Amino acid sequence: MMNTICKLVAGCLFLAGAAGTAARVNVVATTADFGAIAGAVGGQFVSVTVLAKPAEDPHFVDAKPSYILKLNRADLLIEGGAELELGWLPPLLDGARNPKLAAGQPGHMAVAEGLALLEVPADLDRSKGDLHAQGNPHFMTDPENARHAARRIAAGLAAVDPAHQAAYAANLAAWLKQLDAHAAVWRQRLAPFAGARVVAYHDAWPYFARRFGLKMDVFLEPKPGIPPSPAHLAEVIATIKREHLKAIIIEPYQNRRTAETVAAATGARLVDFAQYPGGLKGTDGDYLALFDRLVNNLAAALAAP
Amino acid sequence: MNEAFQIMLWPLVACLVLPGILIYLGLHIIRREIIFVDLALAQVAALGTCVSILLHHEAHDWQTFAWSGVFTLVGAAIFTLTRPRERRVPQEALIGIVYVVAAAGALLLLSRSPEGNEELRKTLVGDVLLVRPAEIAIVAGIFALVGLVHVVFRRPFLALSFEHGRAAGRNVWGWDFLFYALFGVVVTVIVHLFGVLLTFSFLIIPAVCAHLLVRRLAAQLAVSWAVAALASGAGMVASFQLDLPTGAAVVCALGLALLLVGLGRGLRRRGRSVAPTPPADGP
């Protein structure tokens, strides 16, 4: 009697274990943009977890024990690379002790590899203020780089799960087609504003500006992380008034009151921006929906009289 | 369970081993009524780090350690010189002033540095969940040395804190300076691993609990250590089970421990005052 019960229990456990592990590839993405694309490319064969919250500054993620657990159980880790996650990911990986995610393993990929990044310092001289020695890591603000990311993520999935390679390739092709369709609309919406100067709180959007022919070189922060000084703000306000600039980009984790003050003093509009799907309401897990919103918000502000 | 153990092992080891010296220093700090001196010294050390960054050293260069060390000594000198001889201005006021001026000074310096704030934030504030075994070993070594100095020279140190310097002899200034310098080293090092909130909590809360419960120094030490260990364990379990940020969970567990100690003490007092019924109004 006891014996049969033991066998039954063991059998059930085995089945449950098999169903839980064999079915899906466990993907951990550091930020929501990679998570969204991994979900689109992986489809039913992957289960995706994202570590940084969409509205959280990806340079400073508050670690929680569950992050280590998730990394411990992951089959594939997708990080941006280029020092974006430098402050918090390495110690979490130390704690997770997952050999699949060791550097150089197929289970650990950095999307930035193979991309030409902007703002790569010519020489590593601290005095010039190189926050990122390998270039600006916010490359996903250019939809063309999302194309690169999707290709790399599909290749990464195929490497850890060769059985579903064909499905990943098909999903990739479908997503790239969607991206092309959306990108055509984005270009068209922003085309009338080519060359327009846009104010930003923080220098996080050089890729976006380059792609859509905008000039983003006026920042509310005199330097990354330094609160705006009165003289600097006065200068920004004067520039906005002189050139009739219309839009100030602000992200969820930036100081909104400063931006509101400048907007009130100049008549420029605040434009809600976010780098990660979910950072604006209604864009959860959808890179394309996020960029639809960004482009529409910005176009509306720039079109204002 | 095994997974929990694996993940929480080193944070727990850090919380059981490293606060030992913090707890002891906390007893001193409470007696001296200089509760916020740790925050002020940590901020002065951070000011040294800012100077070093402004001189284009990397955050982990030896020059940076040297600069923050020198500034810690300057902070120690300031607090030694402001030791209250006459109670015109409470020392807490000066401590608060040193804190805000050092913090604002750091902002001023960093506004001239190309890296700005981010570099500093990355290096100064740690997270107990992310401690590495090697870091624990190094910090434990430093603390052992500091502890040794405190054991060897316990007489003047204890006299300074607990008897207002009466028994310390002539060299009050020298001992006071050494006390603050060692204290600055401990706080600066531990903030790198634990962050500001957890460091402050380990320093103050167990010592307050001990002061509420017992009188003798040895007993106070024992009670503080027990409170710190129990709260660390409880905080770790809560952090893992409910998936909360680990440092903040331990801080709240320490706060809860103080609440329980306070309640227990209140009940005991009431029990005492109620038991022998006052015969005043009785017939």
pLDDT higher for B273 or A71?
A71
Report the pLDDT value the prediction gives residue A128, as an integer from 0 to 100. Answer: 45
CB contact under 8 A, A65 and B113: no
B3 vs A69, A223, A226: nearest CB: A69
Of B53, B89, B58, B85, the C-alpha closest to B71 is B53
Residue A295, pLDDT score = 96
Q: What is the pLDDT of residue A116?
A: 87
Q: Are B68 and B45 in contact (CB under 8 A)?
A: yes
| pLDDT of B56 higher than 90 | no
Whether B219 has a pLDDT exceeding 90, the answer reads yes
Burial zone of B230 (CB within 10 Å; 0-12 exposed, 13-18 middle, 19+ buried): middle
Burial class (CB in 10 A: 0-12, 13-18, 19+), B61: middle
Q: What is the per-residue pLDDT for A297?
A: 95
Give the model confidence (pLDDT) of B72-107 as tens digits. 999 999 998 887 666 677 888 889 999 999 989 988
Q: Write out the residue limits of the CATH 3.40.50.1980 domain(s) in chain A.
A: 23-120+130-184, 187-303
Specify the pTM. 0.79
pLDDT of residue A123: 61
Closest CA to A73 of A21, A136, A124, A108: A21
Helix segments in B111-216, DSSP class H:
117-124, 133-152, 154-162, 172-194, 196-213
pLDDT-derived band at B52 (thresholds 50, 70, 90) equals confident
Where does the pLDDT of residue B1 fall: very low under 50, low under 70, confident under 90, or very high at 90 and above? low
Helix, strand, coil proportions of chain A in percent (round to 5)? 50, 10, 35
- Give the strand order in the sheet containing A197-200: A215-219, A197-200, A247-250, A269-272
Check residue B168 and give its pLDDT: 52
Q: Write down the pLDDT at residue B233.
A: 95
A126 near B CB under 8 A: yes
Q: Give mean pLDDT in consecutive 10-residue pieces for chain A, a chain of 305 residues.
A: 50 45 85 97 96 86 90 96 87 91 94 88 54 81 95 96 96 97 96 95 91 94 79 94 94 88 94 94 93 96 89
Q: Does residue B122 sit at the A interface (CB-CB below 8 Å)?
A: yes
Least confident of A174-188, B170-184, B200-214: B170-184
Q: pLDDT at residue B58 above 80?
A: no
B3 touches chain A (CB under 8 A): yes
Q: What is the pLDDT of residue B283?
A: 39
Q: Is B143 exposed, middle or buried (0-12, 13-18, 19+ CB in 10 A)?
A: buried
Contacts of A64 in chain B (CB under 8 A): 129, 239, 243-246
Ramachandran region of residue A276, left (φ > 0), alpha (ψ -120 to 50) or beta?
A: beta
Nearest CB to A127; choose among B114, B240, B244 = B114
User: Which tokens is B273 given?
Assistant: 């005052």
Tokens 């006026």 sit at which residue? A218
pLDDT of residue B166: 59
What pLDDT is recorded for position B124? 65
The distance in angstroms from the start CA to the end CA of chain A is 83
Give me the CATH topology for the region A23-120+130-184. Answer: Rossmann fold (3.40.50)
Q: Which CATH architecture describes the domain A187-303?
A: 3-Layer(aba) Sandwich (3.40)
- Confidence band, pLDDT 50/70/90 cuts, at residue B14: very high
> Residues with Cβ < 8 Å from B57, sequence gap 6 or more?
A126, B63, B64, B67
Query: Hey, what long-range contacts does B83-90 have (CB within 8 A, 24 or more apart)?
Result: B83/B172, B83/B176, B90/B33
* Mean pLDDT for all residues in chain B: 86
One-letter amino acid at A14 equals F
What DSSP character marks residue B128? G
* A126, A131, A223 member nearest B111 (Cβ): A223
ipTM: 0.72
Dihedral sign (CA B51, B53, B55, B57): positive
Q: Is the pLDDT of residue B23 over 70?
A: yes
For B281, residues 6+ apart whose C-beta sits below 8 A from its C-beta are: none
- Predicted pLDDT at B145: 96
d(C-alpha B221, C-alpha B235), whole Å: 21
Q: How many residue pairs bridge chain A and chain B with CB atoms within 8 Å of each other? A: 86
pLDDT digits (tens, 9 = 90+) for B116-174: 566 666 566 678 888 888 999 999 999 999 999 999 999 888 888 887 655 556 678 88
